[in-house]
Amino acid sequence: MLINGKWKKNLTNNVYNTYNPSNQNNLGDIQNSSKQDILEAIEVAYFAFKDWSQRSPYDRSKLLYKAWENMLKKQESLATIMTLEQGKTLKSAKAEVKYASDFLLWYAEEAKRINGKFITSEKNGQRFITQKIPVGVVGAITPWNYPVSMITRKLAPALAAGCTVVLKPSEYTPLCAIETFKILQETGFPDGVINLITPYKPQDTGNIFTSDPRVAKVTFTGSTNVGRLLASKSGKNLKRISLELGGHAPFIIFPDADPVHAAKGLSALKFLNSGQACISPNRIFVHQGIKEFFEKTLLERVKKIKVGNGLDETIKMGPLINEEAIIKIDSQVKDALNKGAELIFGGKVLNSNSLTQGYFYSPTIISNIKPNMKIYREETFGPIAPIIYYNDPEEAINMANDTEYGLAAYIYTKDISLAMKTMEKLNFAIIGINDVNPTSSAVPFGGIANSGIGREGGQEGIEEYLETKSIGINI
């Protein structure tokens, strides 16, 4: 654990193990932070806030620039640890480290742009000024699927704003967080400004973050159910909160679209990180008139996806994170097939030869999906491509909106008018038009409805960590 600038162990030597999902090899012992450890981290962050919040934004910016440089220098080693602990391919891990560093760079720049306003008054002798001030101590909870970039997406704007942070990573990927914090610590952040706790059970952290009056804001990325719980508990104490939660992204392919182009885009995104992404396409709406061309291209590409240990450069898709993930997606596939869906490819656990010890599932295509199937309603978080056929474009839009989630959606069409009209009708916060990567450190990221509250990234991201102070002046 990193608390008050020092790496420390649990006083009771209570540890847990972290494992490689490709082979279940033990990667090391992790300190199981106690309630006392969590409270100590909050206390030092609370005391460090006074000095850190008063520092010049230019000073905070310089440290973030240095952190950006340090992370890029450690890209190879950090990516290797990520592949070992999370399972994604080394190529994907390197791309994530680059993405993670982008947030450090972006908010190094945004730190210098925290400005208030000069506001005129209806009274001649009065003037108004607004000032942006940091909210205080931030309690951050990050997920395992993007174990480095989700850390910097929260830390960078918080630090740029002048907040101090106590961060709890997923219990499945603590090594990634430890190595990330080593990079940040080497940068020279003052003691107590960044603190890392690594409890195995997340409940204590959530309860303390949402109840301790010294924590001004809670930020969480994870499941909708946990997000609801944190929001409820935070609400009782009128605590600031931002949530990036689940998704059930529709991928609409209109009849005028190039089916080959659409299939290539879908396969590139759907099986990235073994489908373990909140913006991964979960419902693929294909017009009846182009389904044969689309499915043919998609099948050709999926058949070429080699599954295995991500350290092997020939591998295109790694394991899922654990056995529970395998059970969930296999249950969705079997439920769909039992209710009339058609299996085009895959649909099985992979456990032969070198895959025996890992959590591997075949990239899968199933078609003829109906609303009574679990996969139509539930977020999948796995390498399953469920295809839904439609005839009327308006019907596809209505089905796309038929969900409690509102994170990401995708549209493929050559008709710009149709694209714009569809974009306006879709109830989702992030939309890609002939684009399967509509994200960037410079762009706000977040959901509506049950996909979350608030935004990360872009100019909006730093606002989540700022309060507005208004001053009236009589002259």
- Quick one: tokens of 137? 């101590």
Is-contact 243 220, C-beta < 8 A? yes
Task: State the pLDDT at residue 11.
Answer: 79
Parallel, antiparallel, or unpaired for β 2-3 and 6-7?
antiparallel
pLDDT tens string 281-291: 999 999 999 99
Question: Is residue 354 scored above 90 in pLDDT?
Answer: no
Question: Is residue 402 scored above 90 in pLDDT?
Answer: yes
Domain boundaries of the chain, sorted by first residue: 2-245+451-474, 249-439
Catalytic residues: 244, 278
* Residue showing tokens 């973030």: 64
Three-class SS of 383-430? CEEEEEEECCHHHHHHHHCCCCEECEEEEECCCHHHHHHHHHHCCCCE
pLDDT tens string 356-365: 999 999 999 9
Question: Is residue 13 scored above 90 in pLDDT?
Answer: no
User: What integer is the mean pLDDT of 343-347?
Assistant: 97
Count CB-CB contacts under 10 A for residue 288: 10
d(CA 283, CA 271): 14
Which is the CATH superfamily of the domain at 249-439? Aldehyde Dehydrogenase; Chain A, domain 2 (3.40.309.10)
Question: Is residue 12 scored above 90 in pLDDT?
Answer: no
Q: Minimal CA–CA distance to 193: which of 10, 31, 55? A: 55
CATH of domain 2-245+451-474: 3.40.605.10
**Mean pLDDT taken over the chain:** 96
d(CA 70, CA 378): 40
User: What integer is the mean pLDDT of 375-389?
Assistant: 97
pLDDT tens string 211-270: 999 999 999 999 999 999 999 999 999 999 999 999 999 999 999 999 999 999 999 999
Task: State the pLDDT at residue 343.
Answer: 98
pLDDT tens string 160-217: 999 999 999 999 999 999 999 999 999 999 999 999 999 999 999 999 999 999 999 9
User: What integer is the mean pLDDT of 399-420?
Assistant: 97
Task: State the pLDDT at residue 432.
Answer: 98
pLDDT tens string 92-148: 999 999 999 999 999 999 999 999 999 999 999 999 999 999 999 999 999 999 999
